[in-house]
Amino acid sequence: MPELSLQKALNLALQHACEDDDRVLIFGEDVGTLGGVFRVTDGLRAKFGEDRVFDTPLAESAIMGMAVGLAMHGWRPVPEIQFDGFSYPAVDQIVNQMARMHYRSRGVLNMPITLRLPSFGGIRAPEHHSESLEALFAHVPGLKVVSPSTPSEGYHLLRQAIADPDPVIFLEPKPRYWQRESFDPTEPVEVLPPGTSRVVREGKHATLIAWGAMVARCEQVAELAAEDGVELEVLDLRWLKPIDTDGLAASVAKTRRAVVIHEAPLTAGLGGEVSALITERCFGDLRAPVQRVTGYDVPVPSGELEEQYLPSVDRILTAVQTTLEYRRG
């Protein structure tokens, strides 16, 4: 069984999508000749030609405007914006066109667009290169939002996103591009429907809820906690819109304690929505308030300071300790 990195798994997903459907188009800044900043599209232009894999001007609003027009005419665009923070100039097209066109046309026009966004921190990049925009996009009606945590998840979720008739924001965790995993993308597997979470590790004392690169960090925390006899369940949310409310509730109802971890700032982050869902569904089961471990309410710092910003193993362990020690008055 081959060992693939997330970068290579995504590359294969794009390759197989192009082979299976002639309507799939891949485009963005430097995705053609260069193969993308992270080489996710490497070799695709040579394989499928410049009519299907092509470079665009350095204009994110134009990239997304073109994607909307192509989708209206029956294509399945897969645009890439080089870094998450570069998507701000395209918010008008994403929110007012891509997300609304199906509704505005009373169901006549589908928007099968998959916007690939290298996302989150962890690579010590400059400003605007390490944003966490899941809450922004999840708030917009009409958009689906998903983030893989492993190479196999990346392959299957990207294939699923491209085949979806609705617009999908595909958030790729940059520090996990080089993570490797043994799996065969040609092997048939059961593909869970959109809006389905995944229990990565079974536990009974508390549930850690995360997505993207933070899933691996939560697995580290669970390993350390196990040395002290604490069994933590790790839930990979996967789909951030729609959220798997049933799966979320089932895990927390079992462990009766929850810690939500994400890289975005605390205020109005997606962790607040997850916490509200847990409270609504599991209020009678909870033995402690939901804890959140997040980034801070400041711009993501670059360089060495980034590690002080991102949720660390120690900060997550402290939150676990807080929820385990909580006693109702």
Q: How far apart are CA 259 and CA 44, in angstroms?
A: 41
Could you tell me what percentage of the chain is helix, strand and coil, using 3-state DSSP and rounding each to the nearest 5? 40, 20, 40
> Quick one: average pLDDT of 160-178?
97
| Cβ-based neighbours of 76, under 8 Å, separated by 6 or more | 21, 23, 24, 25, 112, 113, 114, 162
Does residue 73 have an active-site annotation? no
Closest to 99 (Cα-Cα) out of 113, 88, 83:
113
The overall average pLDDT reported for the chain is 96
Distance, C-alpha 280 to centroid of its chain: 24
Q: How many C-beta neighbours within 10 Å does residue 329 have?
A: 2
Could you tell me the CA-to-CA distances from 227 to 60, 124, 220, 257, 271 in Å, in that order?
A: 48, 31, 11, 19, 27
Residue tagged active-site, from 16, 73, 102, 129: 129
Q: What is the pLDDT at residue 48? A: 98
Q: Which residue has the tokens 């390490």?
A: 130
Q: Which of the 8 DSSP states describes residue 305?
A: G
Domains defined along the chain, listed by start: 3-182 (3.40.50.970), 198-325 (3.40.50.920)
Q: Tell me: the pLDDT tens digits for 138-158?
A: 999 999 999 999 999 999 999
Q: 51: which 2 tokens?
A: 């009519």
Count of all residues that appear for the chain in the document: 329
Q: How far apart are CA 45 and CA 226, in angstroms?
A: 47
The conformation of residue 263, written as its DSSP 8-state character, comes to E
- The whole-number pLDDT of residue 190 equals 83
pLDDT of residue 2: 87
Averaged pLDDT for residues 87-104:
97
Helix (H, G, I), strand (E, B) or coil at 131: coil
The tokens describing 44, both together, are 């695709």
Share of the chain above pLDDT 90, in %: 94
